[in-house]
Chain A
Amino acid sequence: MLDLWNVLLSGSAITAAAGAVAELTLDPQLKYWVLLPISAVMILTGILRQQDSTLIAPGVKGQPRVKLTEAQYMMKAQILLGNGSNINDESFNQRKEYLAKTLASGKYVARPKTENGKEAANPFNDPGTADAMMSMAKGNMASFIPQTIIMWWVNHFFAGFVLMKLPFPLTLRFKEMLQSGVMTADLDVRWVSAISWYFISVLGLNPVFNLLTSENTDNQLSMMQTQTPQGSEMMSQPAQVESQMKSLANDITIAQHECCFDNVETRVLNMYK
């Protein structure tokens, strides 16, 4: 390490004297004992974090039947509004009448059982909300703690020497950040310390994680897709749901129906003209 310091100091002296970019000779051992270990630790920590987030993710929870019925009736109304054009007038009107009546009456609103007219539970004491907030906090911690630890590790063990030369030039503003711990005022900004490799890795490792753990992220994506409707329903209160149902009933009552089978022959003929 002492030799390295000599090389470094002489290199910087040459740079200062010549006033031009000088080539430093770095100890090749730096690659094997600093560059590779930092890279390996960053990749392994990233993979571990992804596995960890899968482990601490909340599992799929069961819902009471009334909640499901409520959600499904609302979904049914939305689907009728969105895809109603695929059925004929008669079918549409039948569904429209039934859903408008049912939703306006609030028949399927899931009301929590209250004892002797007691007030409904505070939404902030709801276990579902608390669980969701807790899992969010855990997720944040799982990504924040490893980053802090690695940064401390790099700063503590690999500070005070030049690790590598960047293949692209940088402005002088980066000098303080990328050459932290290297006390050479005239050294070119392209010669950087270990902490800059850490920053480059943090910014550029996303594609590597995607390639290494693509199966996991696919699973997570599909899990998220299945969980989202339940999560949003968990937050809603009966009063809110009732007003949503009433507005849906209004929408359905005034919905204009236009069947896709009207003039279908003309459209098909137009397509093949």
Chain B
Amino acid sequence: MHNSDQFTKQVKSGTNIQENKKRYETLLDKICLMAGVVTGILQLESTYGFLAFIITYLMAVIVYTLWICNGRPGSFYENTISDLLFDNFTRELMGFIMAWTFSFALIG
């Protein structure tokens, strides 16, 4: 019996996936740095600041998935959840904390 699964499976390009990841990372960098600066300008402290980060990050992921990926992130990424949600989390959190601390100290 012919195994048709092998041929009906969707083929993905590794180079394009890398490029998609890079673009997503750059977009998140921009969003999280700006969110950090805004949080600092608003003089938000402790929990409110981290809450601002979590909300911004999740909003960015949701908007990216629904708007830019047209609700089908599986077509552009291999492991959707890890690629879109977890891979960049620490990096963006550090960037956010830096921008937040900087603008908080500068304005305050």
Contacts and interface: CB of A to CB of B under 8 A. Distances in A.
Contact of B44 (A85, A167, A214): A167
A265 B90 CA distance: 48
Nearest to A168: B46
A230 to B, nearest CB: 18
Contacts of B22: 218, 221
B59 interface: no
A165 B108 contact: yes
11 contacts: A165-B105, A165-B108, A200-B97, A203-B94, A204-B94, A204-B95, A205-B95, A207-B94, A211-B30, A214-B26, A258-B3
Contacts of B45: 167-168
Contacts of A163: 105
A207 B7 contact: no
Nearest to B50: A168
A23 to B, nearest CB: 10
**Which of B39, B102, B104 counts the most chain A CB atoms within 10 A?**
B102
A258 to B, nearest CB: 7
B99 interface: yes
Interface string B22-40: 1001101110110000011
A68 interface: no
Contact of A167 (B4, B25, B95, B101): B101
Given A167-B46, A207-B29, A208-B33, A263 B2 contact: yes
Report, as a range, how many residues of chain B touch the other chain. Answer: 35 or more
Given A31-B105, A200-B98, 16 more contacts: A35-B106, A85-B6, A85-B7, A164-B101, A167-B39, A167-B40, A167-B43, A167-B46, A168-B49, A207-B29, A207-B95, A214-B26, A221-B22, A262-B2, A263-B2, A266-B4
B90 to A, nearest CB: 9
B70 interface: no
B98 A204 contact: yes
A270 B8 CA distance: 10
Nearest to B106: A31
Contacts of B108: 165
A210 B26 contact: yes
